[in-house]
Structure 1
Amino acid sequence: MAVDVNVTVGPWPTDDHEQWSTGDVSAHCDRFGLAAVVVRHSVAVRYDPAEGNRRLAAELAAAADPRLLPGYVLGPLDSGEHGAPADLPERLRADGVRAVWLFPRSHGWSLAGPEARSLLGALRRAGLPVLVELDEVDWSEVDELAAAAPELNVVVCGVGYRSLRQLVSVLDRRPSVHVDLSFLASQDGLELLVGRYGPGRLLWASGAPSRDPAGAAYLWRHSDLDGAARAAVAGGNARRLLGLPAAGAPPSVDPGWPAGPGGDVVDAHGHIGAWPSCWVPRESADDLVAAMDRAGTTQAVISDLLGIWADPVAGNARMLAATAGHPGRLYGYLVASPHRPQDEPLLERQLREPAVRGFKVHPHTHECALDDRRYEWIWALARRHGVPVLGHGFAGTWHSDPYLFGAVAERHPDLVLLVGHSGATVEGFRRTIEVCRRHPNVYAETCGSWLTGRWLGRLVDALGPQRVLHGTDACFIDQRYGLGRVHGAALTDHQRALVLAGNARRLLQLPLPPQRLLPQGGN
């Protein structure tokens, strides 16, 4: 049975995610077939580590579920908040603590500062694995920690896709540094890291409830790893780091999904190409289609990132070449820049290409707010040809807030607008719901780092299943995370089918590909 090294219980002051009890964690173990879960308490993260650790010990004792293992949150010891440094290792052992969490950014200290020295000494004596969320540290601090205490096993959680350049540099240098799968989001990142370092540096984790456990489970279930590597990632590595006995059978993380591709899936928000601020290791159309086959994606509608960032004309030409190279699997959005009305004749001709299904606008990279009048020629072109526009959406920004989609929809009620990422953040999801309710020509597209199955269910409940489209943001974000969230969400089969494919087929007028082109793989 598998092991999850990253779960939180306790109250949370925002509505970013659910608030889990120990009973919820036990149900989580049952759902995913987990033999053990490392649990931390929200009060230790959001209020006071010592108080949260005491609450965790009491709640785990009351739950009496041996699968729930305590992970204490610690910080600098010189202030006396965690008792005498000398006997901390013994107290951790007496409490059955299996791992230590550190939150230096939230708790006002630095891993590289003098305040960390006594803590580091105690952790070395305790010999427990140390877990950190990436948004709490930077990679230089992780590197320094691993250099100062190479005998400590450090697990960096929630890696995402933006820091792959720094990640591989640290993993190359520091064999004691590991990564969890709660959001190892770079496309094919799991296969990339296992191919580079072997399977021993990766640990399965859900990040629940702030992240969606179904994403990490789907990633593992549809990976290209062999049996031994899959077993190591699912539980063998965690057992070694946590000092747990070896499993009697190969561990598995499988909530009962089909072994192969599971029905019609359209990715309504995909890309090919590079991104300036992060390394995209597999960026070609061939790479994307291979990832689609692995995940079980029938078709994807893509734009080229060269067009989004620098050169719309060249980017659109590359997109058209990619779709021509994969007919029936890849369709495209033409990138339109509000600063380039001179492109209108070319875009008018390209709209007649059979693979083109609409426009992509990116107010962030083009530095022009979505409701700016400079987009009017694009809106007119889209309306004239009856094609939708997918726009980058990000709540709280001056350029891409969902409310700006509402302003455009008010002026052009016959223009179909897709709010990319559904506004990206929890507040973005709320604003997207508000805008879509007011404007029937606006739809929610779901790719992004913060969406969970719970929020997907809220979007569907609020808007109806006909107004929500599945997207993944490949080739940034691994498609398996996005698909796992949809499969794991509390949706009916009818709702799931509309979200995964039906709505995109209707709005983007996508034909089904020939049977011979459909994904045939699956693990």
Structure 2
Amino acid sequence: MTAFDASKLVGELGVTLDVDVLVGAYPDRDGPPGTPRSVLDTLTAHRIRAGAVASLRATLFDMRSGNDEVLALAASDDTRGEVVPVGAVDLRDPIGAVQEIDRLAELGVKAIRLFPDEQGVEAGFPSVRHVARKAAGLGLVVLTGGDVRRFWQPFSGLDATVVFLDTHFYHLGDFLVVAADEPGFHTSTRLLNSPDALETVPPDRLLYGSRTPHYEPVVPLLRLATSGLKPDEIAAVAGGNARRLLG
């Protein structure tokens, strides 16, 4: 049996900015160590020039030290240009989270990332709305996990710019309904792998995301490369929209 070669279908497609990249490891599950160099090498191997990078250390253990590691990575001569820093905040500590958001904004960070599933936080918890208001008030982009059918609610009516990283194609209709009333709502392509999912979303609302190294980047690459989008739309999804939002 001949192995399937996705590279022939992906062709020359390159991504200028992947909106969903992590460094670090989950202590409670098997997976890659997520060292910065190994993560960036994985991106390079898939023709992904840069990633919007957040820290699992900041997510699971200590916001400040984890975020400082990402900031240092973005500033390093060895990795400058490959990393757009994203601040992770802990929704279990809403007071500390908004203090960290203020600190990150003063340091020039343009986006924060929420990990509700990893932190055991539900969309209706007051902490989520509290953090959403703070981020929107500062004009920060929010990258958030969680089921879009619930996690759209804390951001509604705030004129917030949000990228829903876990939109599944089964829930795409729900995203489209809420996004029609919220011009700042966007979605990652990671789980939109049905035959017509990408073509259904306005191309200016789509951002390529891979969740490297905890997901296989070739899957969303293959879907984008074989989509029915026009070349300029593919370029927008493959980094143009992310650059517009994250600077």
The TM-score with structure 1 as length reference comes to 0.41
Aligned pair count?
232
The answer on whether the counterparts of 2:73 and 2:79 sit within 8 Å (CA) in structure 1 is no
The answer on whether the counterparts of 1:157 and 1:182 sit within 8 Å (CA) in structure 2 is yes
Aligned to 1:146: 155
Q: Deviations over 1:168-187 (max 9, x none)?
A: 32223322211111221223
Summarize the Cα distance change of 1:223–1:108 in structure 2 as closer, same or farther, 3 Å threshold: closer
Aligned counterparts of 1:110 and 1:158: Cα–Cα separation in 2: 14
Q: Deviations over 1:38-80 (max 9, x none)?
A: 1111222333434432333345455741221211112459754
Aligned to 2:135: 123
Larger Rg: 1
CA RMSD of aligned residues (A): 2.6
Aligned letter for 2:219? G
Summarize the Cα distance change of 1:109–1:215 in structure 2 as closer, same or farther, 3 Å threshold: closer
- Is the counterpart of residue 7 in structure 1 residue 11 in structure 2? no
Q: Deviations over 1:188-243 (max 9, x none)?
A: 211222xxxx3101001111111100111111222211111111111111111102
- Residue aligned with 1:162, SS: helix
Which of 26, 47, 69 pairs up with 2:84? Answer: 69
Aligned to 1:81: 96
Give percent identity, aligned residues only: 28
Q: Deviations over 1:327-359 (max 9, x none)?
A: xxxxxxxxxxxxxxxxxxxxxxxxxxxxxxxxx
Which of 236, 239, 244 pairs up with 1:240? Answer: 244
Aligned letter for 1:191? E
Which of 201, 211, 216 pairs up with 1:212? Answer: 216
Aligned to 1:47: 61
- Is the counterpart of residue 180 in structure 1 residue 175 in structure 2? no
Aligned counterparts of 1:78 and 1:14: Cα–Cα separation in 2: 21
The answer on whether the counterparts of 2:59 and 2:89 sit within 8 Å (CA) in structure 1 is no
The answer on whether the counterparts of 2:192 and 2:198 sit within 8 Å (CA) in structure 1 is yes
Aligned counterparts of 1:167 and 1:62: Cα–Cα separation in 2: 37
Summarize the Cα distance change of 1:122–1:97 in structure 2 as closer, same or farther, 3 Å threshold: same
1:349-364 matched pairs, under 5 angstroms: none
Aligned counterparts of 2:97 and 2:165: Cα–Cα separation in 1: 24
Aligned to 1:104: 116
Aligned letter for 2:233? A
The answer on whether the counterparts of 1:203 and 1:233 sit within 8 Å (CA) in structure 2 is yes
Aligned letter for 1:81? G
The answer on whether the counterparts of 2:53 and 2:83 sit within 8 Å (CA) in structure 1 is yes
Aligned to 1:155: 163
Summarize the Cα distance change of 1:10–1:84 in structure 2 as closer, same or farther, 3 Å threshold: closer
- Is the counterpart of residue 223 in structure 1 residue 214 in structure 2? no
The answer on whether the counterparts of 2:53 and 2:84 sit within 8 Å (CA) in structure 1 is yes
Summarize the Cα distance change of 1:237–1:79 in structure 2 as closer, same or farther, 3 Å threshold: closer
- Of stretches 206-215 and 96-105 in structure 1, the one that deviates more from structure 2 is 96-105
Aligned counterparts of 2:112 and 2:52: Cα–Cα separation in 1: 10
Summarize the Cα distance change of 1:155–1:173 in structure 2 as closer, same or farther, 3 Å threshold: same
* Displacement after TM superposition at 1:17 (Å): 2.9
The answer on whether the counterparts of 1:78 and 1:118 sit within 8 Å (CA) in structure 2 is no
Aligned letter for 2:44? D
Aligned counterparts of 1:212 and 1:112: Cα–Cα separation in 2: 31
The answer on whether the counterparts of 2:94 and 2:127 sit within 8 Å (CA) in structure 1 is no
Aligned letter for 1:17? G
Aligned counterparts of 2:98 and 2:237: Cα–Cα separation in 1: 35
The answer on whether the counterparts of 1:57 and 1:95 sit within 8 Å (CA) in structure 2 is no
Aligned counterparts of 1:161 and 1:121: Cα–Cα separation in 2: 28
